[in-house]
Amino acid sequence: MTNAHGGSTLVELNTHNTLHKPKFETLSHPEPISFSNFNNEDDDFNFNHNSSTTSSNNASPYSMSPWNFQPNTYSPLNKSPWLLLPNSPESVFNHHNEDNHPETELIGSLVRETGHIYSLAVSGELLYTGSHSKNIRVWKQLKDFTGFKSSSGLVKTIVIFGGKIFTGHQDGKIRVWKVSSKNPNNHKRIGSLPTFKEYVKSSMNPKNYVEVRRNKNAVKVKHFDAISSLSLDKEEGLLYSGSWDRTFKVWRVADSKCLDSISAHDDAVNAVVTLFNGRVLTGSADGTVKLWKRVNGQKGEKGEKGKKSKHVLDRILLKQENAITSLAVNCMATVVYSGSSDGLVNFWERDQKGEYLQGDVLKGHKLAVLCLAVAGNLIFSGSADKNVCVWRHNKNGFHTCHSVLVGHTGPVKCIAVEEEYLQSKKCHEQEQGWIVYTGSLDKSVKVWRVFEQVSEVGTFQSKTPLNHVAHQEQ
């Protein structure tokens, strides 16, 4: 299928599922990193424009990772066994078990040759995908809807809030976009974090510089290495950003002002998530998970003594040799999860006093856990072993393996989930379900339908078709 702007897009719809028993092991594996310099006026909004990705910085902790693909290298997509022809039947296949409960299934795959998929975000009926080629594609009902791009910095993370799209990039910048009120196909960049004005103003004061490495200083309001993670505190209107420069920063969404910058870890910050009452969690390549709390002034940004709001370390939840690669929290912030390079998922449950107590370890991956997502009682962990493990958090506090989603031909780098309900034929009630999007370095996004009720633990996999084809963007 060729879209209106040129280039080919493949939308695959699955019609078969095979069931296998899962087998669990654990090994370790790192993730990629690179860096580029600050340039305020560097954005190109023509998504048909092609430009190369900036090279890795020597200070990057994962520069030797075998998953640090370059844009011109051979893609595993070209030999993917599950690519279907463009004229595949465009219908969603649903099946039920003997109890008439809907089952987990693969709906289809979204493939566009714009680079490895690094980030996903869902907003209403739109799916945003960020890639290695700096593109942000927008999908609607499993079809390529529109797209936009910047001329530097692959898209590592996307969050959406208040009608704005925030994208974190490899070049250390956070770009802010908005959909045109006249044309929903048009996404326009309306700014970046920090704003150019704030950056220049801060750079004029020597007190606003911090030492980033030996004999090198940088303005503290700007990240000087890749943005690894973004998280929103919607109640307070704050955006948190984690970076490979070992810091996390706090931004006020209303005016794009940087409120705080914290030197949080001894190595790259790979993940940041907001919790409750001004608490935030960070995970790092130094092997630690840290819990921070916000100390506010009495009114607004400053208290009566003129001191700004700041974040202080509350406690260290975990300290280990293996890098922390990802974090996730449930909607009530009662359970938090961390994934690490040894393939394990740790979790903590909040007690009545508001303290987080460490639980058991979830073992289901052969290689590094690269991403996590929580939806209802389900936890999704994507890994460099190309699989997604689905875990169920039971009422008694135990976790069980719900299913394993198999089909990607490259590491699973990101996961996004949206809620769905389906009518049960037997009990005539709606059953809780989720549409799960998994993005991979195989340049595809797979779309799954997962329900909390499952007949038996198993592996859900698309069946290999007799014919396959790979589409290249023109």
Q: What is the pLDDT along the chain (474 residues), one digit of tens a residue?
A: 444 444 444 555 554 443 343 444 333 333 332 323 334 444 433 333 333 333 333 334 444 344 443 434 434 433 333 333 333 333 233 333 445 556 788 998 998 777 899 999 999 899 999 988 888 999 998 899 999 988 777 899 999 998 899 999 999 999 999 998 888 888 999 999 998 888 888 888 888 788 777 777 888 888 989 999 999 999 999 999 999 999 999 999 999 999 999 999 999 999 999 998 899 999 999 999 999 999 876 544 444 444 577 899 999 999 999 999 999 999 999 999 999 999 999 999 999 888 999 998 999 999 999 999 999 999 999 999 999 999 999 888 889 998 999 999 999 999 999 988 765 555 556 677 899 999 999 999 999 999 887 655 555 444 333 223 333 333
| Single pTM value for the model | 0.76
- Spacing of C-alpha 183 from chain mean position: 27
| 388-394 contact pairs (CB < 8 A, 24+) | 388/412, 388/415, 388/436, 388/438, 389/22, 389/362, 389/364, 389/365, 390/104, 390/450, 391/345, 391/362, 391/364, 392/452, 392/454, 393/330, 393/335
Specify the fold of 9-462. Methylamine Dehydrogenase; Chain H (2.130.10)
Which residues contact residue 204 at a Cβ distance below 8 angstroms, ignoring those fewer than 6 apart?
none
Phi (first) and psi of residue 430, to 5 degrees: -80, 135
CA distance 196 to 199: 5
CA distance 57 to 37: 10
Quickly count helices (H) and strands (E) in the chain.
Answer: 1, 33
266-293 CB burial, b ≥16 within 10 A, e <16: eebbbbbbbbeebbbbbbbbbbbbbbbe
Helix (H) or strand (E) holding 203: helix 196-203
CA distances from residue 331 to 6, 274, 314, 372 in whole angstroms, order as listed:
40, 11, 21, 14
Tokens 């973004």 label which residue?
A: 230
Tokens 């991956």 label which residue?
A: 365
